Amino acid sequence: MNKVILDASAILACLNNEPGGMEVADVAHSTPCLVVTVNWAEALTRLIEWGLTPDEAQEAVESLDLHIADFDAALARRCAELRPATRHKGLSLGDCACLALAQQERAPVLTADRAWLSLAQPLGLDIRCIRPASP
């Protein structure tokens, strides 16, 4: 893989040693990983909600050595265009921003959200869920 897109759930799984988190850590240490600013903010926000200071949250996310992609006008439009195809799955703006970046970069995306898998084929994306399948 040339690069991989991470959503906030994948970042948080890695930082919290949740199921699938080691997969994210392995990828982050071997492949350039991109995160859109919206998902960067989402990860920071969640860590702060869980009790980290803003500085601690930033240090934690920065420890993954991610490349940050700006949520610019072109990406915002691509994100908006995804809404009709993703609404029925309940995806958030951040989720669509992540998928829009994956489309733009033509790169696989790692997520902990299993619901995204059904969107891979309709959106023409390589979506990989880090969570093990339920028995």
DSSP 3-state of 104: helix
The two structure tokens encoding residue 90? 């309940």
DSSP 3-state of 38: helix
Q: What is the pLDDT along the chain (135 residues), one digit of tens a residue?
A: 699 999 999 999 999 999 999 999 999 999 999 999 999 999 999 999 999 999 999 999 999 999 999 999 999 999 999 999 998 898 999 999 999 999 999 999 999 999 899 999 999 999 999 997 765
Ordered domains of the chain (ranges, CATH): 4-129 (3.40.50.1010)
Smallest CA-to-CA distance from 5 within 88, 87, 78, 55 is with: 78
Smallest CA-to-CA distance from 21 within 12, 33, 29, 30 is with: 12
Structure pTM? 0.93
Q: Are 61 and 40 in contact (CB under 8 A)?
A: yes
